[in-house]
Amino acid sequence: MSHEGIRIVHRENLPVEQVQLPIEARTPAKVRVKKTEGTGVEIDWKDGHESRWNFAWLRNACPCATCHEEREKTGRAPGKPKPKPQTLLAMYEAPPRPIDVTPVGNYAVRFKWNDGHESGIYSWEYLRRICECNRCASERRE
Ligand SMILES: [Zn+2]
Ligand SMILES: [Zn+2]
């Protein structure tokens, strides 16, 4: 018999990021990385939720320490693009897309981006937390 169901967890005082998501909410049932199409990533979760992100968004949500710090400093939410410098003439920048996508254990995925950056390890849990569907996005804004 499992005791999972009766475990008492004191969640009230924890900041939102530290409350663990239920296992079904952070376990992908299906992951589709549209590398060839260059569009983005689609994940169907075990709890029936579906998440979609485009590659530019994911690149701007890179969870590595450097990107995370840079976002914290400028108050940029994960996935939001960097403000473009006003003074420079628009320089052509190739839209972000991964050159390589590798699974990390069974808990994460790692992208090697076309700009050379590859230190971000996107855990399933992180991806679920940054789900961009209307419901999750509006819940986060509240
Ligand atoms: Zn990064
Ligand atoms: Zn969602």
Q: Looking at the CA of 112, which ligand is closest?
A: 1
Task: Give the residue among 132, 138, 137 at the shortest CA–CA distance from 50.
Answer: 132
Query: What is the 18 CA–ligand 2 centroid distance (Å)?
Result: 18
Query: What is the 112 CA–ligand 1 centroid distance (Å)?
Result: 10
Would you state the pLDDT for residue 9? 47
Model pTM greater than 0.85? no
Report how far residue 37's alpha carbon sits from residue 33's, in angstroms, rounded to the nearest whole number.
9
Instruction: Tell me the average pLDDT across 55-73.
Output: 96
- Residue with the two structure tokens 């939102």: 16
Q: Looking at the CA of 49, which ligand is closest?
A: 2
Q: Looking at the CA of 63, which ligand is closest?
A: 1
Quick: pLDDT tens for 73-132.
999 999 999 887 666 666 677 889 999 999 999 999 999 999 999 999 999 999 999 999
